[in-house]
Chain A
Amino acid sequence: MKPAPFAYHRPSTLDEAIATLAADPHAKVLAGGQSLVPLLSMRLAQPSALVDINGLAELAGIRVDDRGVRIGALARHADVLASAEVRRTQPLVSLALAHVAHATIRNRGTTVGSLVHADAAAEMPVVLTLLGGSVEVASVRGRRTIAAAELFLGPLESSLAPDEIAVSADFPALPAGAGVAFEEIARRHGDYALCGVAALADGETVKAGFVSVSDVPTVVDLSGVPAGERGAAALAELDPVGDIHATAAYRSQLVRVLTERVVGSAVRDAELRSREGAP
Chain B
Amino acid sequence: MSEELHDVRLSVNGASYDVRVPGRRLLSDALRHDLGLTGTHVGCEHGVCGACTVLLDGAPVRACLMFAVSAQGQEITTVEGLARPDGTLSNVQQAFVECHGLQCGFCTPGFLTTITAGLRANPTPTHEECREMVAGNLCRCTGYQNIVRAVERAAELGLDTPSLVPREGSSTNEETP
Residues of A within 8 A of B (CB): 1-8, 10, 30, 33-34, 37-38, 40-42, 50, 52, 54, 76, 78-79, 81-82, 84, 101-108, 188-190
Contacts and interface: CB of A to CB of B under 8 A. Distances in A.
A79 B172 CA distance: 9
Contacts of A107: 56, 59-61, 173
Contacts of A78: 59, 173-175
Given A103-B60, A107-B60, A108-B62, A34 B47 contact: yes
Nearest to B59: A107
B114 A4 contact: no
Given A8-B4, A52-B70, 10 more contacts: A33-B66, A34-B65, A37-B26, A38-B46, A41-B46, A82-B175, A82-B176, A104-B50, A104-B114, A108-B61
A104 B48 CA distance: 11
A54 B46 CA distance: 20
A33 B23 contact: no
A104 B174 contact: no
Given A104-B53, A190-B135, A38 B65 contact: yes
Given A37-B65, A52-B70, A108-B65, A103 B118 contact: yes
10 contacts: A3-B26, A5-B22, A37-B46, A40-B24, A52-B70, A103-B118, A104-B62, A107-B173, A189-B132, A189-B135
Contacts of B22: 5, 8
B84 interface: no
A190 B50 CA distance: 13
Which range contains the number of B residues in contact with the other chain?
20 to 34
Main DSSP-derived SS at the A contact region: mixed
Contact of B70 (A54, A103, A105): A54
A105 B136 contact: yes
Interface of B: 3-4, 6, 22-24, 26, 29, 45-47, 50, 53, 56, 59-62, 64-67, 69-70, 114, 118, 132-133, 135-136, 173-176
A52 B23 CA distance: 10
B136 A190 contact: yes
Contact of B45 (A33, A41, A108): A41
A76 to B, nearest CB: 6
Nearest to A106: B175
A76 B173 contact: yes
Contacts of B173: 76, 78-79, 82, 107
B174 to A, nearest CB: 7
Q: Which of B24, B50, B132 has the most CB of A within 10 A?
A: B24
Q: Which of A2, A10, A30, A108 has the most CB of B within 10 A?
A: A108
A50 B53 contact: no
Nearest to A94: B175
Nearest to A38: B46
Contacts of B26: 2-3, 37, 41
A10 B69 contact: yes
Contacts of B69: 8, 10, 52
Contact of A50 (B3, B23, B60, B61): B23
Nearest to B1: A5
Q: Which of A7, A37, A105, A106 has the most CB of B within 10 A?
A: A37
